Amino acid sequence: MKDVRPTFTPNSTAMVNAPLVVAVLSFCGFLIRFQVFMAIPLVPVVSQAFNVSELSAAWVGSAYSFAYATGFLLFAPMSDRYGRRTIVLTGLLALIPLTFAAGTSPSFQILILFRVLQGFAGATFVPTALAYINPLLSLSEINS
């Protein structure tokens, strides 16, 4: 059986830039969480724009949230296997076109699809970033 325990050991560059890494990851985390809550005030606008009920329009937020939560279960172990930086960067880079596509969706169904994909892409970030930051903070506290 293959060992899938974390093998992350920060290099000296990461240690020198630990405060910068934490600041950048915190800002990205804020933006990803913002994508969850930005849909709430837009429910009436989505309802009117796509001619759906407000109950249906609320799925814009729910679709993202369900995919976001489900993605945690998938991407946390993947970050141990394929590397935290790879998973975080892939997710963040995927969010750029997905956010644009969601904002320009021609139909309600396509909007929901892109919100689900956004949720999965956003889910790459939190468990991976926390696992990435933990050794940085632990080692920087030990070294100071």
pTM of the model: 0.78
Of 112, 104, 1, give the one whose Cα is nearest residue 63. 112
Confidence grade of residue 143 (pLDDT, cut at 50, 70, 90): low
Domain membership of residue 47 (yes or no) is: no
What does the alpha-carbon distance between residue 76 and residue 4 come to, in Å, rounded to a whole number?
Answer: 11
Is 51 a member of any domain?
no
Residue 130 CB-density burial (10 A; 0-12 exposed, 13-18 middle, 19+ buried): middle
pLDDT above 90: residue 135:
no
DSSP 5: S
pLDDT digits (tens, 9 = 90+) for 94-111: 999 999 999 999 999 999
List Cβ neighbours of 94 (8 Å cut-off, separation of 6 or more).
117, 121, 124
What per-residue confidence (pLDDT) applies to 131?
79
Domain that holds residue 117: 63-144
In a domain, 87, yes or no: yes
In a domain, residue 91? The reply is yes
Number of domains in the chain: 1
- Residue 77 placed within a domain: yes
Over 60: is that where the pLDDT of 120 sits?
Answer: yes
